[in-house]
Amino acid sequence: MSIIKHAGNPSAPGIVDAESMIRTVRALGIVPFFENAIRGYSVEEHTPPQFWFDGDDGATLGPWDWKIECVRSGDIAYGKFLLGGKAAFATVPWYAELRNYRHSLPKYVPDEAQQQILDYIDAHGSITIREVRALLGVKKAAADAQITRLQLQCRVVTGDLIRVYRGADLRYSGWQVASFCRPEALFGAARSESDAAVLRGSDGASAPGPSGTPAPGPSATPAPGLPSFAARALGLDTSAPRNPLDVGHSPEASLARLKAHITTLTGETSDRALMKLLG
């Protein structure tokens, strides 16, 4: 998919509803929500202005609301994990690459308060900002900062978004309550067996990994119903049942794959811009 800024270019491919937003995220693999230093590389810039949400009156919610369907799709991660804590989307294979790289960095080791949050999630399955505030005894801004830090560490991801209806007429103006969970619980081993069975190609060939290189492992046993090109379009490894968050190579290889992928999408991109996005 070409990276094209919509402003002044109405013929460019666009996000006009939840379905096209999911399709765009899957095609790009990993993408920031909002416009950033890499021109054209955002959900915002793939959305025609008339569909962009208006936070003042809620008349047009656009991607702000459609992101709920992305979260609920089952194969897209959403959270503040790019650009130093800005909202972004990633398909599971590309999120796994980012997770593999981030977990190797000392600056992304959880501190004592963040470990408390992780322990709570492990015990209860998920956590909201209100629950973080109660757990740590902090105000909302501090709770938000801790959750953002855990999202940057790729230790927490948005598990669900619930629409909030307010007032006598139960009006929805875009306000949502997020819950956060472990990516391993959302995308991990519990899903890998069934996902691999569904996503194996009908020709039995191994699909390429996120970087376009052949995935490791033997050819999968064919399963009827979904041809291998569909799995390839999602960048999914169909070689064998496994935890889809375990990439099987070094953090350095993950970073190289991410850089190469984003450069392919966006054209000439400096290493400084890439590291600002991914570091």
Range 114-139 average pLDDT: 98
pLDDT of residue 54: 67
- Name beta bridge partners: 178: 161
For 85-133, the DSSP string reads TEEEEEEHHHHHHHHHHHTT-GGGS--HHHHHHHHHHHHHS-EEHHHHH
Q: Identify the domain containing residue 52 by its residue range.
A: 18-188+252-278
Whether 136 maps to a domain, the answer reads yes
Residues sharing a CB contact under 8 Å with residue 72, sequence separation 6 or more, in sequence order:
160
Residue 58 above 60 pLDDT? no
The enclosing domain of 23 has a CATH number of 1.10.10.10
pLDDT of residue 171: 87
CB atoms within 10 A of CB 211: 20
pLDDT of residue 13: 56
pLDDT of residue 87: 98
Give the confidence band of 12 by pLDDT, cuts at 50, 70, 90: low
Whether 227 maps to a domain, the answer reads no
Beta strand 176-181 pairing with 157-163: antiparallel
Half-sphere exposure of 240 (CA within 13 A, CB side): 9
Range 131-143 average pLDDT: 98
Whether 116 maps to a domain, the answer reads yes
Whether 241 maps to a domain, the answer reads no
pLDDT of residue 59: 59
Reported as a single tens digit per residue, the pLDDT across 202-242 is 333 333 345 444 333 333 333 333 344 444 445 554 444 46
Question: What average pLDDT does the chain have?
Answer: 82
pTM: 0.79
Percent of residues, the chain, with pLDDT higher than 90: 65
Whether 11 maps to a domain, the answer reads no
Dihedral of CA atoms 97, 98, 101, 104 in degrees, nearest 10, equals -120
pLDDT of residue 227: 43
Residues sharing a CB contact under 8 Å with residue 258, sequence separation 6 or more, in sequence order:
30, 94, 97, 98, 101, 274, 278
Reported as a single tens digit per residue, the pLDDT across 138-177 is 999 999 999 999 999 999 999 999 999 998 888 888 899 9
Residue 124 above 50 pLDDT? yes
More confident residue, 22 or 269: 22
Reported as a single tens digit per residue, the pLDDT across 59-98 is 578 999 999 999 999 999 999 999 999 999 999 999 999 9
Range 104-124 average pLDDT: 98
Whether 80 maps to a domain, the answer reads yes
Residues sharing a CB contact under 8 Å with residue 126, sequence separation 6 or more, in sequence order:
159, 160, 179, 180, 181
Give the confidence band of 47 by pLDDT, cuts at 50, 70, 90: very high
Q: Fill in the amino acid letter for 161.
A: L
CA angle 75, 239, 122 (to 5 degrees): 45
Whether 201 maps to a domain, the answer reads no
Domain count, the chain: 1
Of 197, 216, 88, 221, give the one whose Cα is nearest residue 151. Answer: 88
Phi then psi for 22, rounded to 5 degrees? -60, -45
Which range has the worst mean pLDDT, 39-43, 122-126, 241-245?
A: 241-245
Distance of CA 226 to the CA centre of its chain: 23
Across 13-22, 54-63, 149-158, which has the greatest mean pLDDT? 149-158
For 142-191, the DSSP string reads HHHHHHHHHHHTTS-EEEEEEE--BTTTTB-SS-EEEEEE-HHHHHSHHH
Whether 242 maps to a domain, the answer reads no
